[in-house]
Structure 1
């Protein structure tokens, strides 16, 4: 077989094993050659899987990602992208109501579908096991269509059961005919293209309506996105216009349309700093989940939250957030050996000098270098760099309690959304490793206070004094105790003021006209029991559109990719949360970032009317023309934008808010 045309004259060597022996091939660093190489050496399944992992997320490739080509032809914003399972074709849907099928390796358009849609297209999906021929679409006109690209003038299936915009479709790898849709009417539909039905009649709609968030949550709840677990297809994840990701077990959903109780069929996931503010009273929340997806093994869920960050959940081990849990009491003999000096300034750390620990927290020499680098960044006010340095060290040496403490210090100084809660988690980890770590105990009390939990903060501080009486008169302890008492006094005053309000504002649900101001008891209980995240990814901005994606890059989630309102897309290290690169990819907003299923290739789109294909085609890491040099500047601007009112007409990109 003749290899495809070479698009780059720059080569690297890759060792392959075809079952006979090791061979070396010189390859150009571009996606076309990588794909050809995978086809040539993919005979043995075990070898093929190893090669696939190496070709998709090898660090040498990630460091050379650059724009390979533009795919042009659309006449509107490109709102959705989808690779086929085999990665040969790419589908795109646009505001021009067209679906285009591309061969990204030959850089050409293969098919154009002039759909019947009369609104912006939000989702396009290939139905599995149809040889890449069957495509489903949904759009702002509330319609869902299924097409055979070989007969583009006919629809195989249509549905307009949604009463508001249809936002996202999902398929399951074992279901060639059944697929799912999410709409802003709060409904999740389960559609079987083998069965015809009449739309917009209540009886018929109930036949395809799987979930109604309006009934389960409240009447303004919109379903924004959904995903099917690829390994356990009975599990369906749903994102709505709130901060809670829901995973339903379709086997346990009520079959009778007379009941809306899905309590036993659903689990909620949300960051702890959001769960702590949970209230039965319905209040407006600007946060919304714009995209979610399972990892390849179906053991994790990745959630892109509007007006917030990206969160990664471990579905097998996630638990509820822990705010204060006293560390186990240490043996009396070990208390003195493990004590250290409480900082006079509540945001100092173990960086040497004033407040330096009496106990030496030993670290391996290579990890000590990361710590010193982080300390230097921290002292110079480079908080993002300090957090990255400590995170890299912890990824290599998770037993370093001092690393957790110093990262907590940097997080509390930075103060982005969720930083104080992340610092609290770090304090718990430090105390888990060393229950006698006085400074971590003190920092935990300070974090609890800043999270507006003065009672927990008081309990934590009193436990510190009880265990280590010699610190009772420490200046830092005395000042923190004073702050806690003042905070509790103010909280009590607010509670007294709230109690004097009209009782009608706080009537329970069954007390009459004000019941719609409250969630049901079942919904409130589900939110209160939400499970906490495993890792988070900060830096991008997601406030302007409600279709912004985040995806895994690598079969084991080695990297995370997402678009941003600043016109860039970002790549994070999966284990540390550190931004390893960002690229200019749109004149305004990047909404879609879709990794190729088996090689190091990305497709991006947004407000521009083109699709950009990215691959490791740069001659060297230093020769990437679209790479963002000053990532810190963009990231800090993004955090500032997320604190602004998204409805402010002066907000950049406000013209395309919510698409």
Structure 2
């Protein structure tokens, strides 16, 4: 095998050797590859610790932003100050008392300006642009805007447009500004790109916005619901900020958005809005960002998990899809070894599993046994990790999918039941005779509220496998389904529900065709603040990082979604986790008034900030999210819930 294949024929999942990467630099033109890998090498990830604490703010630090060259770190705070730090000397380079009269929520360097123009947004509805070359009076902005009518939560820029930026406000508007043009904040100026109130009603709030760095026509918006929206700006014309939003009675009238200008993304278990009785969920997207290659969208959802969407290959969720079944050829094989981890209806006469191998490889069988043992001891997080490793090694083995589905369904954290449903479907695709997968699919559908689909699934099971039709567990599930159907029918007959007409026709259409997620990252807690971030870490996005309500920040491996490290980053809450653009260096902030810089230490260094045993913390986080719905602090304080 050639040297190149020996060292470089691997995916981000493969263990990397930093020494080999360095030694191979003379052989190949792989400067970018090496830089990306060294930025977030696993050895570095496992040995992070606080390099310095940047002290200077007198309030919660709500936003962090690295300059394009990585030589400056900008921070905004509740104290209304904008501080530019020299991260390598661990001290402020500039300390600006801004004119803001409310908490600063977002700060961005305008690209291709030599990192001399910086824009801020705050709770006072103002956006300001500061010119760092104006040393005489840095506190006076060179450009300002108060077009938003409520708090401005996020700003976005794109490398190709140095003079243009976008803002997301809790008035439901996404505004687009070009600082080269005169601006007087009149209601006649055409700066409004999207007004969410036109489609989801008066309660609509825009929480975050991002622009695809590789495809700048794509603009993503997170709002006060579970839907991430990706607009094609080429298909949208700016309209006047003073144009009146559509009233509830004019919901049939559409604004500047055509049906083809946007794609919606939403986890399948939250995308239940198929009619006008939807209203709002308690979910709110607190942050979203595109991957470095522009092919994915990472979304942090309040009171839920972190979701990753494949922008080019995402599909609509499939709740029930039965594989083809031929009774003459697809009969269960009674000689197959039963699966010990997943439950089969106890009186079934056809124990079913599937394997093309007469015997599992020893190391895979050991992982499977370990997963089964974790399952029996109700250690579902570890069981899921073990089955996921088995799937990685033998992706066409349906037993591992069903075992993992069982672990998901028993654990039943937010999104688990739906992940279990997807694993059951995959197990059935691999083996249409897998009775246990069929039964668990029906159970998952019922638990998720898709009662008619569950009934159809169970009826099909009885038809395909008549020997199991009299099984006690199948009969009990059938009774539960029928009882629910009867109760729902009686409820509809006794009540005259008036449909909620807040949603426009286009909004209904976009929601019903929303695309499903590809990966899910679980472990953190996001209930207390509505500015909590999730970002890619590493030049190739091989890791995901996010803060949490208990004061830790988490690092997940991107391909496997496994937690690889947890660090204590704040005494209470970590909101911001911003990786350096070129180095293995992280900046974090939250409720504490200081900013922490994190860099890798030697293997011998024992980090007091590393959380070695985080399983219990993860469980508590999930229980907290399930117990406390996301709360927005209407009083204006972003640090804590009201």
TM-score grouping bracket, smaller chain normalisation? 0.7 to 0.9
Question: Once the 2 structures are TM-superposed, how far is the Cα of residue 181 of structure 1 from its aligned partner?
Answer: 0.6
Match of 2:183 in 1: 197
Question: Once the 2 structures are TM-superposed, how far is the Cα of residue 150 of structure 1 from its aligned partner?
Answer: 2.6
Q: 1:374 aligns with which of 360, 371, 375?
A: 371
Q: 1:592 aligns with which of 576, 580, 589?
A: 576
- Is 2:475 the counterpart of 1:450? no
CA distance in 2, matches of 1:13, 1:552: 24
Match of 1:293 in 2: 289
Q: 1:230 aligns with which of 186, 210, 213?
A: 213
Match of 2:7 in 1: none
Q: 1:298 to 1:655 in 2, by over 3 A?
A: closer
Question: Once the 2 structures are TM-superposed, how far is the Cα of residue 658 of structure 1 from its aligned partner?
Answer: 5.4
Question: Once the 2 structures are TM-superposed, how far is the Cα of residue 106 of structure 1 from its aligned partner?
Answer: 2.6
CA distance in 2, matches of 1:267, 1:93: 32
Q: Is the 8 A contact 1:340 1:437 kept in 2?
A: no
Q: Is the 8 A contact 1:305 1:542 kept in 2?
A: yes
Q: 2:386 aligns with which of 389, 407, 430?
A: 389
Question: Once the 2 structures are TM-superposed, how far is the Cα of residue 356 of structure 1 from its aligned partner?
Answer: 6.3
Match of 1:162 in 2: 148
Equivalent residue runs for 1:63-142 within 5 Å: 63-142=46-125
When structure 1 is superposed on structure 2, of 394-403 and 442-451 the one drifting more is: 394-403
Question: Once the 2 structures are TM-superposed, how far is the Cα of residue 641 of structure 1 from its aligned partner?
Answer: 1.7
Higher helix share: 1
Q: Is the 8 A contact 2:200 2:507 kept in 1?
A: yes
Q: 1:304 aligns with which of 284, 300, 303?
A: 300
Per-residue displacement from partner, 1:23-67 (whole Å, max 9, x unpaired)? Answer: xxxxxxxxxxxxxxxxxxxxx9x4321111221221111111122
When structure 1 is superposed on structure 2, of 535-544 and 554-563 the one drifting more is: 554-563
Q: 2:515 aligns with which of 514, 531, 534?
A: 531
Question: Once the 2 structures are TM-superposed, how far is the Cα of residue 157 of structure 1 from its aligned partner?
Answer: 1.2
Stretches of structure 2 lacking an aligned partner (at least 5 in a row): 1-17, 244-253
Per-residue displacement from partner, 1:496-552 (whole Å, max 9, x unpaired)? Answer: 233xx2x6x23xxxxxxxx7x531222112111111000111111111111000011
Question: Once the 2 structures are TM-superposed, how far is the Cα of residue 380 of structure 1 from its aligned partner?
Answer: 0.7
Q: Is the 8 A contact 1:346 1:443 kept in 2?
A: no
Match of 1:323 in 2: 319
Match of 1:4 in 2: none
Question: Once the 2 structures are TM-superposed, how far is the Cα of residue 289 of structure 1 from its aligned partner?
Answer: 0.4
Match of 1:16 in 2: 22
- Is 2:603 the counterpart of 1:619? yes
- Is 2:275 the counterpart of 1:275? no
- Is 2:424 the counterpart of 1:438? no
Q: 1:298 to 1:658 in 2, by over 3 A?
A: farther
SS in 1 for 2:399: helix
CA distance in 1, matches of 2:473, 2:107: 58
Match of 1:606 in 2: 590
Question: Once the 2 structures are TM-superposed, how far is the Cα of residue 489 of structure 1 from its aligned partner?
Answer: 2.2
CA distance in 2, matches of 1:450, 1:647: 22
SS in 2 for 1:407: helix
SS in 1 for 2:162: coil
Match of 1:251 in 2: 234
- Is 2:474 the counterpart of 1:495? no
Match of 2:171 in 1: 185
Q: 1:481 to 1:491 in 2, by over 3 A?
A: same
Question: Once the 2 structures are TM-superposed, how far is the Cα of residue 555 of structure 1 from its aligned partner?
Answer: 3.1
Question: Once the 2 structures are TM-superposed, how far is the Cα of residue 316 of structure 1 from its aligned partner?
Answer: 0.7
| CA RMSD in angstroms, aligned pairs only | 2.8
Paired residues, number: 602
Question: Once the 2 structures are TM-superposed, how far is the Cα of residue 630 of structure 1 from its aligned partner?
Answer: 3.0
Q: Is the 8 A contact 1:431 1:437 kept in 2?
A: yes
Q: Report the TM-score when normalising by structure 2.
A: 0.88
Stretches of structure 1 lacking an aligned partner (at least 5 in a row): 1-11, 22-43, 507-514
Per-residue displacement from partner, 1:369-407 (whole Å, max 9, x unpaired)? Answer: 222211110011101111122123323432221111001
Q: 1:192 to 1:17 in 2, by over 3 A?
A: farther
Per-residue displacement from partner, 1:474-493 (whole Å, max 9, x unpaired)? Answer: 33333332332223222222
